């Protein structure tokens, strides 16, 4: 077993994790960052978080012409590497935060020790939870237009949801689809005005208000329609389509922290107001602890805050002689 007590271990490689690594690296804490992986459409995607499935990021300062999600992640990773981050292509699948040092079990079965941990595991897409959605997963059902949109060239596709993700997915899908219909359970969008306006003006996008998806209909091999139920009068209708993209929000990746950290009722990590979790030495940043802003820039900002908080604690541990010289 590796006896080293790392000064800071970061879990997650999206903007929160990479920014934490840049700051921790510049503070000479020699951060170890577990890049992880996440599930979407039933497939294991590369690390980097949700930005890896984001086509165009137009609102990250410093990129006046926009930047693709994967490029932004790669630039952050390079920057973190420049300051000595040890990026590991592995996951953490168990933790023991009951005392000092904090302990983490890697996907390859090794336990490692850390003085501080920064959790930046992000969030994943939510699903409707109906049986037919599972049956047609990757055969017309998806939660990632960037990943799967190109499969549905010249077909009618449906997008479920009324937030910014639904607007973004629908707009992106117009590149391929013959027509896009957004189905939303209410009569107004939750999305920001600029994105909703873009959708409403788009000649290829239609909106069906006040309906929920009852069932994904298929021929056994692929999706052929969605069965909709009116949320006002309960009327059932069927809309032919070749694919259904879910854009109904996200769920934080906190499964392995249950019992070790205090979580909020919605599953997000509970913070003290800054980045400190309920376990001493454990900090959290980005979408795993933020259900409100959920932006790449706010995640990056929290990553910076968590690294500064971790650095202060490492300093205190060093002053108290709690960390060995090799740390």
Q: Which residues of the shown chain bind ligand NAP in the complex (CB under 6 A)?
A: 59, 128, 160-166, 168, 185-186, 190, 212, 247-250, 294
User: Which CA distances in Å does 139 have to 171, 181, 219, 221, 319?
Assistant: 21, 18, 11, 7, 58
CB of 55 to ligand NAP, least distance (A): 9
Nearest CB to ligand NAP, comparing residues 29 and 182 = 182
Give, to the nearest 10 degrees, the angle between helix 69-82 and helix 15-26: 20
Residue 57 and residue 67 in contact, taking contact as beta carbons nearer than 8 Å: yes
Catalytic residue among 86, 90, 96, 147: 147
CB of 176 to ligand NAP, least distance (A): 19
Catalytic residue among 2, 90, 144, 309: 144
d(CA 164, CA 295): 11
Q: In the chain, what is the straight-line distance between the N-terminal and C-terminal CA atoms, in Å?
A: 16
Q: Does the CA dihedral 306-312-315-319 come out positive or negative?
A: negative
Question: Active site includes 144?
Answer: yes
Catalytic residue among 76, 148, 287, 309: 148
CB of 292 to ligand NAP, least distance (A): 7
Nearest CB to ligand NAP, comparing residues 131 and 219 = 131
CB of 168 to ligand NAP, least distance (A): 5
Question: Active site includes 304?
Answer: no
Nearest CB to ligand NAP, comparing residues 183 and 313 = 183
Nearest CB to ligand NAP, comparing residues 85 and 254 = 254
Nearest CB to ligand NAP, comparing residues 202 and 294 = 294
Nearest CB to ligand NAP, comparing residues 233 and 266 = 266
Instruction: Point out the residue whose Cβ comes nearest to ligand NAP.
Output: 163
CB of 18 to ligand NAP, least distance (A): 19
CB of 104 to ligand NAP, least distance (A): 28
- Catalytic residue positions? 144, 147-148
């Amino acid at each position: 077993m590796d006896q080293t007590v790392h000064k800071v271990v970061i879990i997650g490689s999206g903007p929160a994790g990479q920014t934490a690594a840049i700051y921790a690296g510049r503070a000479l804490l020699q951060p170890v960052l577990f890049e992880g992986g996440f599930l979407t459409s039933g497939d294991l995607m590369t690390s980097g978080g949700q930005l890896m499935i984001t086509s165009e990021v137009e609102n990250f300062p410093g990129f006046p012409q926009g930047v693709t999600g994967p490029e932004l992640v790669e630039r952050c990773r390079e920057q973190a590497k420049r300051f000595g981050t040890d990026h590991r292509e592995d996951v953490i699948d168990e933790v023991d935060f009951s005392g000092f040092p904090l302990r983490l079990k890697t996907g390859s079965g090794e336990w490692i020790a850390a003085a501080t941990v920064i959790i930046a595991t992000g969030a994943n897409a939510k699903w409707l939870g109906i049986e037919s959605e599972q049956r047609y997963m990757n055969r017309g059902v998806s939660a990632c237009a960037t990943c799967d949109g190109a499969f549905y060239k010249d077909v009618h596709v449906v997008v479920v949801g009324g937030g910014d993700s639904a607007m973004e997915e629908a707009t992106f899908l117009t590149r391929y689809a013959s027509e896009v219909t957004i189905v939303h359970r209410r009569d107004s969008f939750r999305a920001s005005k600029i994105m909703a306006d873009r959708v409403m003006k788009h000649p290829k996008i239609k909106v069906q208000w006040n309906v929920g998806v009852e069932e994904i209909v298929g021929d056994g091999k692929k999706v052929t329609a969605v069965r909709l139920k009116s949320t006002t009068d309960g009327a059932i209708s069927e809309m032919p389509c070749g694919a259904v993209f879910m854009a109904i929000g996200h769920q934080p990746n906190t499964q392995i922290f249950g019992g070790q950290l205090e979580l909020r009722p919605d599953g997000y990590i509970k913070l003290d107001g800054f980045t400190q979790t309920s376990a001493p030495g454990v900090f959290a940043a980005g979408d795993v602890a933020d259900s409100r802003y959920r932006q790449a820039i706010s995640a990056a900002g929290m990553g910076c805050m968590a690294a500064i908080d971790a650095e202060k604690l490492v300093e205190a541990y060093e002053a108290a002689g709690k960390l060995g010289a090799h740390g």
